[in-house]
Amino acid sequence: MAEKWAVVTGAGSGIGAVVAGAAVKNGYRVAAWDLNREGLEALAAGIGDGCETRVCDITDEAAVEAAVAALPGAPAVLVNCAGVVRFGPLLELPLEKWELALRVNLTGTFLVGRTVARRMAAAGRGSIINIASINGIAAAPHAGGYTASKAGVVRLSEQQAMEWASLGIRVNTVAPGLIDAGMSDAIYADAEVRRVREGAVPLRRLGTSDDIADTVLFLASEQASYITGQCLTVDGGLTKSTLANLPRPAAVDAVGPDAT
C-alpha cells in the first residue's frame, strides 16, 4: 500500500468531515465511513479524489469487516469520530436511548478499532485516535448515556494502547470541549446559551472542528511517535477551570500559622 490511508468514521458530518478534509490536505487518502449517505456525498464533492466514501454502520460487525476488507491494505491511521448523543434525565431515560449511546460511541469504537488494528498489526504500524468528549471526563447533567459511553472510550483507548503497543500501534484519545459544529449546532443556535458557554471557557471562545482536526493530525503524525495511551483534552481550559473563579480577599496574601 504505497499511499497512506486514513479511515475516518463519522465523516459525513461535523467534526469528522473536517478531519477527513484535513487528512486529505495532509497527504492521506481517506476512507470516509458514515451512515449518512448525503453527508458522504457532500464530502466527496468537496474533497474529490482524495477520499473514498462508504455507507457503513459501525455497530454492524459484518459491515465493519466488509469495509476493512475493501481497503487496499493496512491503513496508517484510524480516527473513530462517529458518535451520537441522546439527552434526558437518568430517572426517566428510556433504555433504548441509553443503549444507543453505548452501542455507537463505545461498542462501535471497539468494533472498528479491533478490525482495523488486526490489519495494522500485520503491517507492524498504525495510529488510532478515538474521539471522546469532555463529558467523558466531567459529568454533565441530562447527558443520558453519553457521559458513560465517552468515559468508556477514554479507558478503552488506554487498554488498546497497552495491548497493541508491542504491535507498533499507538492509540490516543482526543476529548473535545464545547465545539461549535455538528451535533452541537442546535445548542449554539440559541444566542443566550452560546454567550454563557463562551463566557465559561477560559480562552473565551467555543472550539472549532479545525481545533480538533489539528490535534488529530498531530497525534497521527511522526511528531507524536512517542505518545500513546494519552487523552488530550481540547477545550480552551474548561475542564481545568473548577477553581478559576473563586474569590479571595485582596488583603490576604498568605494563610496558615506562619503567615506574615
Q: Annotated catalytic sites, by residue?
A: 146
Using CB under 6 A as the binding rule, whether residue 233 contacts ligand NAD is answered as: no
Using the CB atoms, write b or e for 2-19: b if 16+ within 10 Å.
Answer: eeebbbbbbbbbbbbbbb
Shortest Å, Cβ 14 to ligand NAD: 2
List 6, 64, 77, 131, residue binding ligand NAD (CB under 6 A): 131
Site string for ligand NAD, 105-124 (x = CB under 6 A): ---x----------------
202 Cα distance to chain centroid: 21
Helix 146-164 to helix 108-123 angle, to the nearest 10 degrees? 20
Shortest Å, Cβ 8 to ligand NAD: 10
CA 160 to CA 158: how far, in whole Å? 5
CA 197 to CA 40: how far, in whole Å? 30
Site string for ligand NAD, 154-193 (x = CB under 6 A): ----------------------x--x-xxxx---------
Contact 6, 75 (CB under 8 A): yes
For residue 211, which of 26, 18, 11 has the smallest C-alpha distance? 18
Which range of residues in 57-65, 117-125, 159-167, 250-258 is near ligand NAD by CB under 6 A? 57-65
List 12, 126, 152, 236, residue binding ligand NAD (CB under 6 A): 12
Which residues lie near ligand NAD (CB under 6 A)?
Answer: 9-10, 12-16, 34-36, 39, 57-59, 81-84, 104, 108, 131, 133, 176, 179, 181-184
